[in-house]
Amino acid sequence: MAGLYLRSGGAGDTTYLLLHGLGATGEVWEGLTDLMDRDKAGAGWRQFSRGAWALSLGTPYTYTSLMDDLIPLINEASRLVVVGHSMGGWSV
């Protein structure tokens, strides 16, 4: 997962995987993650980010590399809800 930035929060049986669009960063989800942390409704979240800063590391930003990074995150969740914006949603 070279070039991957991952933040996690909350706890519970259901995990929400938050995927931003191309050209954005994981910061677009901060309002939602703040609400989820305050609500404590038995759900965790993982904020995946692979924005422009990853390109500066020489990391390819393709659908294949995105899926290579997402598959382990998807496999480890017992119950998963994927929330994606733009390319983040289209990639899954």
Encode burial over 1-16: b for 16+ CB neighbours within 10 A, e otherwise: eebbeeeeebeeeebb
Predicted confidence (pLDDT) per residue in 37-90, tens digit: 887 666 777 776 665 545 445 566 677 777 787 888 788 888 888 888 887 777
Write out pLDDT tens, residues 49-63: 665 545 445 566 677
Q: What are phi and psi of 17, to 5 degrees?
A: -100, 115
Annotated domain spans of the chain:
5-86
